[in-house]
């Protein structure tokens, strides 16, 4: 079977936020380029309350043939059409990779092509041809929620492809400490001064340490400047620093190195520990084998992003902040499952989790306890590497998409069988 010519065949990767773009979309796009350099690949961004506003700029660096914005999606949807940059292909497929699956299905209908979805969540949106998931536990849940067995398939975890694509840096510190301040402006401005204070607490104890901050490209320069200046330092007990190029000097002598976000996986693969907040980055750290302190600060709950109705309630004038503060507190009080993805997937306490009111000295103590207990650190690292997924999901996903579409992918490698092990098995 001869594949159609490039202009007639298109894969549209639909996504929403920075984590999904970097860990799902990019490895999938890179694999499409490797397996079939002639296929047209587009990225379609959809509206999402978690978006930082710079997703289009980030997506434009991946080498896609077209990138459309959430605004273009909305304008086109209002007229019953797809964004102009996505039109014109005779054959295609829409791949939902984050955000509202129904929006991806709607786009596929307007393009008159099938829609499939990759997700960690076992929700089979109406109109999907197939749901691809990362493990067998999620597949079983999707079946319990009504999805037919022949339409749910395990392909593995795309995050592992993203992490393993980077070799570790050669000049790691002793210890090598990653400080991850997030990618959303509204929260990062509070976390940056906290991380500066944390480095200042740890530096006297570890003279050979490197404190490294992989700076999200989604953060505005104004946010970075305000964070370093300590504009919101009072929220988490942080302090202001002084920036000198790509180095931030803390008040008592610690130095935090600012590195481009594109280098974060290389630093993860060389890190001793990391300090972060919940999110996809916890899974990246787990895959890289980095025991971490994962904190969910409740010093000011109203600054934490919420999903669904909670987000929109928080926008109400006068009462919105109070509603959101109470909603977050209620959510966390009732939280009975781990806040880090490695702990959820492995069903083991491999990451140190801190929920509630935090301060730099308390988090520094937790980080130091992790660093100093070398046996426990090695145990956690070994269990992370043993329980977290390995690479190969992107190729399995692409080959399955081609198979379903009736396209023939060039035989440039054989994908390993999907790891269908359920977490904890």
Mean pLDDT of 71-85: 95
Whether residue 243 sits in one domain with residue 148:
no
Q: What is the pLDDT of residues 23-65, one digit of tens each?
A: 999 999 999 999 998 899 999 999 986 666 788 998 999 999 9
Residue 40, C-beta contacts closer than 8 angstroms, at least 6 positions apart:
6, 7, 9, 10, 11, 65, 66, 89
Whether residue 373 sits in one domain with residue 260:
yes
Please compute Rg for the chain using Cα positions: 22
Mean pLDDT of 165-184: 92
Q: Cα–Cα–Cα angle for 45, 164, 260, nearest 5°?
A: 60
Name 153's bridge partners: 132
Q: How confident is the model at residue 84 (pLDDT cuts 50, 70, 90)?
A: very high
Residue 150, C-beta contacts closer than 8 angstroms, at least 6 positions apart:
none
Residue 122, C-beta contacts closer than 8 angstroms, at least 6 positions apart:
131, 133, 138, 139, 141, 142, 144, 145, 147, 152
Q: Would residue 132 count as lying in a domain?
A: yes
DSSP 8-state code for residue 181: -
Q: Would residue 170 count as lying in a domain?
A: no
Is residue 100 within 8 Å of 126, Cβ to Cβ?
A: no
Whether residue 90 sits in one domain with residue 139:
yes
Whether residue 331 sits in one domain with residue 232:
yes
Going by C-alpha positions, the residue among 278, 289, 270, 142 that lies closest to residue 212 is: 270
Mean pLDDT of 135-162: 92
Q: Would residue 288 count as lying in a domain?
A: yes
Is residue 350 within 8 Å of 291, Cβ to Cβ?
A: yes
Whether residue 291 sits in one domain with residue 154:
no
Whether residue 236 sits in one domain with residue 143:
no
Q: How confident is the model at residue 2 (pLDDT cuts 50, 70, 90)?
A: very low
The C-alpha atoms of residue 295 and residue 363 are separated, in whole angstroms, by 8
pTM, to two decimals: 0.78
**210-215, strands of its sheet edge to edge:** 242-244, 247-249, 255-260, 210-215, 176-179, 273-276, 292-297, 352-356
What is the sign of the dihedral through the CA atoms of 121, 64, 268 and 297?
negative
Whether residue 298 sits in one domain with residue 342:
yes
**9-15, strands of its sheet edge to edge:** 66-68, 40-45, 9-15, 91-96, 115-119, 130-133, 152-154
Decide the pairing of beta strands 40-45 and 66-68.
parallel
Q: Cα–Cα–Cα angle for 336, 18, 107, nearest 5°?
A: 100
Q: What is the pLDDT of residues 358-382, one digit of tens each?
A: 999 999 999 999 999 999 999 999 9
Mean pLDDT of 403-412: 76
The burial of 210, by beta-carbon neighbours within 10 Å (0-12 exposed, 13-18 middle, 19 or more buried), is given as buried
Looking at residue 305, its pLDDT comes to: 54
Q: Would residue 348 count as lying in a domain?
A: yes
Q: Which domain holds residue 364?
A: 176-387
Whether residue 185 sits in one domain with residue 60:
no
Q: What is the pLDDT of residues 296-325, one digit of tens each?
A: 888 776 565 544 434 433 333 444 455 445
Q: Would residue 423 count as lying in a domain?
A: no
Whether residue 326 sits in one domain with residue 220:
yes
- How many structural domains is the chain composed of? 2
How large a percentage of the chain has pLDDT more than 90? 67
305 half-sphere exposure, CB direction, 13 A CA radius: 17
Whether residue 145 sits in one domain with residue 281:
no
Whether residue 363 sits in one domain with residue 218:
yes
The C-alpha atoms of residue 145 and residue 131 are separated, in whole angstroms, by 13
Q: Where are the beta strands (DSSP E) in 48-146?
A: 66-68, 91-96, 115-119, 130-133
For residue 342, what is the domain's CATH number? 3.40.50.2000
Mean pLDDT of 122-142: 92
Using DSSP, state whether 81 is helix, strand or coil: coil
DSSP 8-state code for residue 417: P
Looking at residue 306, its pLDDT comes to: 45
Looking at residue 82, its pLDDT comes to: 96
Looking at residue 416, its pLDDT comes to: 42
Q: Would residue 191 count as lying in a domain?
A: yes
Q: Would residue 73 count as lying in a domain?
A: yes
Whether residue 184 sits in one domain with residue 328:
yes
Please, where are the H alpha helices in 246-304?
264-268, 280-287
DSSP 8-state code for residue 349: -
Q: How confident is the model at residue 183 (pLDDT cuts 50, 70, 90)?
A: confident
Looking at residue 124, its pLDDT comes to: 85
Q: Would residue 171 count as lying in a domain?
A: no
């Amino acid at each position: 079977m001869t594949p159609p010519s490039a202009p007639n065949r298109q894969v549209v990767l639909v996504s929403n936020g920075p984590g999904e773009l970097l860990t799902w979309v990019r490895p999938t796009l890179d694999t499409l380029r490797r397996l079939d350099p002639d296929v047209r690949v587009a990225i379609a961004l959809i509206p999402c309350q978690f978006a930082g506003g710079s997703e289009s700029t980030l997506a434009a660096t991946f080498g896609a043939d077209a990138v459309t914005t959430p605004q273009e999606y909305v304008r086109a949807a209002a007229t019953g059409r797809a964004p102009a940059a996505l039109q014109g292909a005779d054959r295609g497929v829409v791949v939902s990779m984050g955000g509202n699956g129904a929006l991806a299905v709607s786009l596929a209908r307007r393009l008159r092509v099938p829609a499939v979805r990759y997700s960690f969540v076992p929700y089979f949106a109406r109109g999907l041809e197939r749901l691809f998931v990362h493990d067998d536990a999620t597949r079983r849940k999707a079946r319990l929620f009504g999805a037919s067995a022949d339409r749910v398939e395990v392909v593995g975890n795309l995050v592992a492809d993203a992490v393993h694509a980077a070799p570790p840096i050669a000049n790691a510190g002793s210890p090598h400490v990653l400080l991850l301040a997030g990618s959303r402006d509204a929260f990062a401005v509070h976390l940056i001064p906290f991380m500066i204070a944390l480095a200042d607490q740890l530096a006297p104890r570890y003279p050979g340490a490197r404190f490294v901050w992989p700076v999200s490209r989604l953060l505005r320069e104004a946010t970075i400047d305000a964070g370093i200046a300590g504009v919101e330092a009072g929220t988490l007990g942080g302090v202001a620093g002084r920036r000198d190029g790509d180095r931030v000097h803390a008040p008592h002598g610690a130095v935090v190195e600012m590195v481009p976000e594109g280098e974060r996986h290389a630093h993860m693969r060389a890190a001793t520990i990391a300090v972060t907040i919940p999110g996809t980055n916890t899974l990246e750290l787990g895959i890289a084998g980095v025991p971490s302190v994962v904190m969910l600060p409740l010093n000011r709950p109203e600054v934490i992003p919420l999903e669904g109705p909670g987000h929109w309630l928080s926008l109400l004038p006068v009462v919105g902040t109070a509603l959101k503060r109470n909603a977050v507190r209620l959510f966390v009080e009732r939280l009975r499952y781990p806040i880090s993805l490695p702990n959820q997937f492995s069903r083991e306490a491999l990451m140190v989790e801190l929920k509630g009111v935090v301060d730099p000295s308390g988090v520094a103590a937790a980080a130091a306890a992790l660093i100093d207990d070398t046996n426990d650190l090695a145990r956690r690292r070994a269990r992370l590497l043993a329980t977290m997924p390995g690479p190969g999901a992107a190729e399995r996903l692409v080959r399955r998409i081609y198979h379903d579409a009736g396209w023939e992918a060039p035989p440039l490698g054989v994908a390993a069988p999907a790891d269908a092990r359920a977490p904890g098995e």
